[in-house]
């Protein structure tokens, strides 16, 4: 049985601890950053640092290294260098939102993708959770994490804008969510380029102009960025067809 200890009792740490306990791991406690965790790597197979990215380097440096213990972080953006001076280092980043420990516990065992790096233990834990490990080395971590943020955080922010604009027309969020769900299904089935519809895809500049005239000034930068991305996708699609 794999034994683990965690530093960082936030949403990610508590979600992972619960999911790994369900998967049969022995969780040997969870420490906060204001506790003495200098000996936290002693007596366990894995020490998970579930702290904010900005604290990872200092927390790792404050823990006494033990040769047999894998020290692992959950950051999507950072490489393994922040875990110095520990000899066995790993990274395990789940590609799934963890809004709270209860939801996170379920999602982490739902067959999600995990970006892994370093020690083989990261891949072992991903498989133990029923997930799909994908190797992402230090050189590509920032680009990988940017893609993850676009797909999740930026998508949520975009739907927040859709909610505001729809409300100004007397339409509720649920109606917009139905449209968004269908669009995501099309992307999964067809790919982004072939799934794209709407005025930017049609080259309908008059409709785009009418949208811009109806929007509040503070909504225009987000809308214009979306139009630019849609036009870029159209250009990509035409290039693919031509080739």
CB contact at 8 A, 79 and 59: no
Q: Rounded to an integer, what distance in angstroms lies between the CA atom of residue 195 and that of residue 186?
A: 5
**Architecture, CATH, for domain 142-242:** Orthogonal Bundle (1.10)
Give the whole-angstrom CA distance, residue 93 versus residue 80. 12
pLDDT tens profile 168-207: 999 999 999 999 999 999 999 999 999 999 999 999 999 9
CATH class of the domain defined by 3-136 = alpha beta
For CA atoms 21, 27, 29, 32, the dihedral sign is negative
Give the number of other Cβ atoms within 10 Å of residue 202's Cβ: 12
Domains of the chain: which residue ranges?
A: 3-136, 142-242
- Taking only the tens of pLDDT, the chain with its 243 residues reads 999 999 999 999 999 999 999 999 999 999 998 899 999 999 999 999 999 999 999 999 999 999 999 999 999 999 999 999 999 999 999 999 999 999 999 999 999 999 999 999 999 999 999 999 999 999 999 999 999 999 999 999 999 999 999 999 999 999 999 999 999 999 999 999 999 999 999 999 999 999 999 999 999 999 999 999 999 999 887 776 666
Predicted structure pTM score: 0.88
Q: Rounded to whole angstroms, how far apart are CA atoms 85 and 41?
A: 12
């Amino acid at each position: 049985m794999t034994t683990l200890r965690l530093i960082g009792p936030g949403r990610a740490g508590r979600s992972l601890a619960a999911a790994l306990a369900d998967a049969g791991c022995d969780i040997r406690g969870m420490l906060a950053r204001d506790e003495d965790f200098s000996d936290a790597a002693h007596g366990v197979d894995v020490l998970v640092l579930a702290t904010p990215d900005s604290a990872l380097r200092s927390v790792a440096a404050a823990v006494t290294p033990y040769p047999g213990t894998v020290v692992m972080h959950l950051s999507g953006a950072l490489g393994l260098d922040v875990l110095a001076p520990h000899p066995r280092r790993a990274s395990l980043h789940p590609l799934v939102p963890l809004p709270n420990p209860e939801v996170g516990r379920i999602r982490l065992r739902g067959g999600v993708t995990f970006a892994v790096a370093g020690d083989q233990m990261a891949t072992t834990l991903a498989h133990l959770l029923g997930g799909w490990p994908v190797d992402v080395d230090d050189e590509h971590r920032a680009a990988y994490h940017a893609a993850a943020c676009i797909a999740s955080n930026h998508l949520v922010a975009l739907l927040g804008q859709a909610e505001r604009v729809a409300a100004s027309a007397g339409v509720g969020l649920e109606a917009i969510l139905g449209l968004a769900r269908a669009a995501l299904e099309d992307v999964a089935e067809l790919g982004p380029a072939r799934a794209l519809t709407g005025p930017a895809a049609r080259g309908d500049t008059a409709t785009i102009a009418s949208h811009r005239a109806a929007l509040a000034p503070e909504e225009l930068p987000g809308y214009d960025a979306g139009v630019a991305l849609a036009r870029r996708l159209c250009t990509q699609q035409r290039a693919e067809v031509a080739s």
